[in-house]
Structure 1
Amino acid sequence: MTGKEVRWGIVSTAKIGLEKVIPGIQRSKTGVAAAIASRGQDKAEAAAASLGIEKAYGSYEDLLADPEIDAIYNPLPNHLHVPVTIQAVEAGKHVLCEKPIALSAGEAEQLLALPKGRLVAEGFMVRAHPQWIRAREIVRSGALGELKAIQCFFSYFNDDPENIRNMAGIGGGALYDIGCYTMLSGRYFFDAEPERVVSLIDKDPSFGTDRMTSAILDFGQGRHLNFVVSTQLTPYQRFNLVGTKQRLEIVIPVNAPQGEAVEIRTDDGSVLGDGAIQTETIAPCDQYAELIDVFGRAVTGEAPLPYGAEDAVQNMKILDALFASAEKGGWAAVG
């Protein structure tokens, strides 16, 4: 590395990389988008030219072999997350991998055996966004009283059979794509792990993916998280954290607009119909740039990595339990 600069290589020209993460790297304080790879040289060169990236590679292997690249961002389809992350670490790179990091906890556990000198993390940008950080500060302050219930709804409509989110064999479906955020919110805001889960899945008859999943996660001590996620409903997202004194509402909890202000709201319920809502504006930011800097400071040794491979394995254990619950039709223990 050159000083505190982290030089990033991006494997694939996936939409989230081109539209969200690469611009985030370019806006970050610590990172440089130095190279991009695709399975075709022409496609890689076109992406590099449009985004002002110095190097373009026609194979992932050539990018991983570049000694000037410090870290890899892996936004490949879900079934390729673990194998390509392993390749990258074995090539001496740190890796930030898109969520979900694997298709099962067992697959994710392979990452725990990798050399400890290279960092691996799952790309949950929401945990770097000031609105989530501020919301947890409010929870921890006791302003909500005892946080007892979290309610999450997250949906979008996508019935394109060619879209990877609708391909069951490579990790498509609502739980993998967006349910991971809703269950993560419980871990983050309760500061605890779920003990058991129960879920109900509606599968698309053609795709075989879960197009709608509803679930309850039991965090013990009377703390419940319930969510609905869907890939075939009206686009909507809203998280509510409800305590014994107040509730807190995160208006755009996951896809917060890059570079725009957002709101969190608190309400003590003294006036029904939202009449007692108090609004707090969170200053404009880019949550992808924030995540890149969290990871970048860990790479350069300026700060510890808050969430590593072990955290990613725990996320997969919860997703495994949610799938298992729906399959057997009852509660499933986590882990």
Structure 2
Amino acid sequence: MTDSPIRWGILGAANFALKHMGPALHAASGAELAAVASSSAEKVAKFAQFAPGLRHHDSYDALLDDPEIDAVYIPLPNHLHVEWGIKALEAGKPVLIEKPVGMNVAEIDRLIAARDAAGLLAAEAFMIIHHPQWQRAKALLESGAIGNLCHVNAVFSYFNDDAGNIRNQADIGGGGLRDIGCYVLGGARYVTGQEPLSLDYARIQMQDGVDVFADMGFAFEGFTFQGYTGTRMAPRQEVHFHGDRGVISLSCPFNAGVFDQAEVVLSRPDLTREVMRFPGVNQYVRQVEAFGRALRSSESYAWPLEQARGLQAMIDQVLARA
């Protein structure tokens, strides 16, 4: 790929894309938002407010056929991710797909096969690992800053009882585990670099076909994990890595700069604390730039589909208990 900006197209005018990923695609170094595919010209016009010259395609296929689009971002409802991800690859477009990239492991296997057949980059938009707070947490753990890791606990909750919201619609892949469970589980997998040995327990509350609360415990080699997600609870998010010589805590691990400021705290046995803050970092922009570097060079992408598959396997196990 040349040094000219990577021209991105978005399939669908999702509100999340309008608020977060659309602006990131246009603000990231070496990238520009060139087109949006939607049946609504009114929705696309909102994207054009920050991306002048934006082209409007009235169908997803038309955008995939556009020779002036270099890469595609997919923020469609969950059940459409793999279908349109494969179509993008077959059209010769590298693709960044919003999480969860698939509804189950079998779907992700299909996407991996399509990626390999096309020889193109396809990845899940797991943006948190591109934030320096997570990279710092990983580096601290690997350096032995907290000694031997004993336990990880994580929580992510919000309140949303709107029956019309896609997060609460079972037939299109709604539910708390698919929406935010990936962060609770995936963050631990990223920092530790480990796969779980077993699912120890899972307690799930269902409402109208979707999980609104999930409390789960996994066993890893050398440490245990406990986490929960809730979509009918007051907002809360935090992650702790508890070792025998210290604790690494993230007080705003998932929605940095929105829920609160990004902060990593290293607590030591002598009760001293080192506080690391990361103001002004846009993890969506950093995600787009990392994807671009992987397209332009031999740099590996930090969250390949195999990582997404391992995460989905954990979610599948928990959902099976429902």
- When the two chains are superposed, the root-mean-square deviation of aligned CA atoms in Å is 1.7
Equivalent of residue 143 in structure 1, options 133, 142, 145: 145
Residue of structure 2 equivalent to 1:218: 219
The answer for the alignment partner of 1:186 in structure 2 is 188
Give 3-state SS (helix, strand or coil) of 2:234's partner: strand
1:241 match: 241
Pick the aligned partner of 1:201 from 199, 204, 221: 204
> Are the equivalent residues in 2 in contact too, given 1:33–1:53 (CA < 8 A)?
no
Determine which of 310, 315, 321 is the counterpart of 1:314: 310
Contact persistence 2:7–2:70 (CA under 8 A): yes
Give secondary structure in 2 for the equivalent of 1:80: helix
- TM-score if structure 2 supplies the norm length? 0.94
CA distance in structure 2 between the partners assigned to 1:41 and 1:287 by the alignment: 29
Answer with 70-79 or 114-123: which moved more. Answer: 114-123
What secondary structure does 2:278 align onto?
A: strand
Q: Percent identity?
A: 36
The SS at the match of 2:284 is helix
- Residues 1:281 and 2:277 are matched in the alignment: yes
Residue in 1 that maps onto 2:95: 95
Q: How does 1:159-178 map to 2 (within 5 A)?
A: 159-178=161-180
Q: Structure 1 residues 101 and 32 mapped into 2: Cα distance closer, same or farther (>3 Å)?
A: same
Structure 1 residue 220 displacement after superposition: 2.2
- 1:30–1:50: structure 2 CA closer, same or farther, 3 Å change rule? closer
AA at the equivalent of 2:256: A
What does residue 296 of structure 2 align with? 300
Contact map agreement 2:12 2:38 (CA 8 A) in 1: yes
Aligned length: 318
In the alignment, residue 131 of structure 1 is paired with which amino acid?
A: Q
Distance 1:53 1:203, change over 3 A: farther
- Counterpart CA distance in 1 for 2:42 and 2:156 is 36
Distance 2:292 2:155 in 1: 32
In the superposition, the TM-score normalised over structure 1's length comes to 0.90
1 CA distance for matches of 2:51 and 2:164? 26
Task: Tell me the amino acid that sits aligned with residue 176 of structure 1.
Answer: R
Cα shift at 1:18: 0.8
Amino acid at match of 2:171: G
Aligned structure 1 segments of 4 or more residues deviating by more than 4 angstroms: none
Say if 1:8 and 1:73, in contact at 8 Å, map to a contact too.
yes
The one-character-per-residue Cα deviations of 1:65-87 (angstroms, maximum 9, x if unpaired) are: 10111111100000000001011
